[in-house]
Structure 1
Amino acid sequence: MSGIEQATFGAGCFWGAEAAFRALPGVVDSRVGYAVEAADEALQIEVVQVDFDPQVLAYSSLIEHFWGLHDPTSVDRQGEHGGVKYRSAIFHTNAVQAEQARVAKEALQESGRLNKPVATVILPLGRFDLADEAHQRYLEKNGLSSCQI
C-alpha cells in the first residue's frame, strides 16, 4: 500500500482504542500489541498501531482523536487499569511525528480544557510486539460496542 503511514498510541486498554481508530475514515488497518521504547526494553505499553492514508487523514487529526479516547492527565492508569503498561503515550517513528506530537501536547496543555498537566509521554518506537490473535478486534469479535475505562 503505497503512501500508507503508521501511528502508534497508548491510551490504556487497547481494545476500545482500536475500535475507535478503526472507525475513522482514512484508517486502512489497525492492530493491538505492546510498544517497547527504544531506550528501555523493560518498558512495554499496551498500544494500538494504526495504518492510515495521510491523503485522507492527517497524523495531527489522529492525535486529536487520541486525546478524546482516554484521560491524558492520568499517570500510568486508565480507569480500573493501573501500571506502566497503561501509560498514555504517543510513539513516533520519525522526526515529523515527534514534532507534531510535541506541538499537539503543548496545545492541549495550553488550551485550558484540562485541569491537570498532560501526562502523555512522547517516545521513539523501538519495537512493536503484536498481541495474541484473541486481542485483535476484540470488541468486534465479541459483539461489544465499547471498552469501559
Structure 2
Amino acid sequence: MQEIIYFGGGCFWCTEAVFDRVQGVLDVESGYANGHVSQPSYEQVCEGTTGHAEVLKVSFDPAQIALHTLLEIFFGTHDPTTLNRQGNDVGTQYRSGIYTTSPEQQAQVQAWVQALNQDKVFGAPVVTEVLPLDNYWPAEDYHQDYFARNPHQGYCAYVVGPKVHKFLHTFAAYAKKGE
C-alpha cells in the first residue's frame, strides 16, 4: 500500500534532498501546490503571483514508515515558525505547508500542529499551513533530483547540504541504508 502527502518546507531542493533519504519513502517529486494558475512555471511561482508553494510530493509505504515519523522529520528539518520564509528564501512560495490527500491525514496533521503549539515546542507559534491538496503541478525536469545532480552548486553546498547533514545526524535511525 502507498500513501502520498505533500510537504512545503521552503525550497523544494532542500525538502527533496532530505526525504529522498528516508526509509519507507518510495518516491519524491518536486512541484507546486495550492495555487490558482494551471501549469505554472518556476519563474511564475518565483514571482509570487500564482499562489503556489514549492512542495515535495512524498509517496511512502505506511507499513515501513508512519506518517507521524514523516511529520517529525519535516518539522525537524525546517523552520515552521517563519511566515513565507525559510532562511534567505522569502515569499509565499516558500511558506511552510502540508497538503493532505485524505481526511485521515488532515486530522492527524492538524492534531500534530496543535500539539506542537500547545507544548510550545519551537518557542514560537507554528505557522505551517495545513490544507487538502489543490492544483498540484510537477516542477520542471531540471528541478528533480537537483541536489543529487548538483551537490557542489553554491546553494546546494551551503544550504541543502547542511540540511541533509542535520537529517542524517538527527534522524539517522530513519535514513536509508548506505546514507
Scaled by the length of structure 2, what TM-score is found?
0.76
Given candidates 100, 110, 119, the residue that maps to 1:111 is 119
Q: CA deviation at 1:143?
A: 2.6
Matched residue, 1:77: 85
Letter of the 1:148 counterpart: V
Bigger fraction of residues in strand: 1
Matched residue, 1:6: 4
Q: CA deviation at 1:146?
A: 5.8
> Does residue 66 of structure 2 align to residue 58 of structure 1?
yes
Which segments of structure 1 move beyond 6 Å, counting only runs of 4 or more? Answer: none
Instruction: Give the Cα–Cα distance (whole angstroms) in 2 for the partners of residues 114 and 30 of structure 1.
Output: 27
The Cα RMSD (Å) is 1.6
Letter of the 2:30 counterpart: V
Residue ranges of structure 2 left out of the alignment (5+ in a row): 38-49, 161-179
Q: CA deviation at 1:111?
A: 2.4
Matched residue, 2:130: 122
Q: Which moved more, 1:112-121 or 1:73-82?
A: 112-121
Matched residue, 1:44: 52
Given candidates 24, 29, 33, the residue that maps to 1:35 is 33
Instruction: Give the Cα–Cα distance (whole angstroms) in 2 for the partners of residues 35 and 135 of structure 1.
Output: 15
Q: Assess if the C-alpha contact under 8 Å between 1:14 and 1:46 holds in 2.
A: yes
Matched residue, 2:159: 148
Matched residue, 2:163: none
Instruction: Give the Cα–Cα distance (whole angstroms) in 1 for the partners of residues 70 and 157 of structure 2.
Output: 19
Given candidates 58, 76, 95, the residue that maps to 2:103 is 95
Instruction: Give the Cα–Cα distance (whole angstroms) in 2 for the partners of residues 112 and 125 of structure 1.
Output: 27
Given candidates 17, 20, 43, the residue that maps to 2:18 is 20
> Computing the radius of gyration over CA atoms, which structure comes out larger, 1 or 2?
2
Q: Which moved more, 1:67-76 or 1:40-49?
A: 40-49
Q: CA deviation at 1:109?
A: 1.1
Identity value in percent: 38
Q: Assess if the C-alpha contact under 8 Å between 2:31 and 2:56 holds in 1.
A: yes
SS of 1:139's partner is helix
Q: Assess if the C-alpha contact under 8 Å between 1:15 and 1:147 holds in 2.
A: no
Residue ranges of structure 1 left out of the alignment (5+ in a row): none
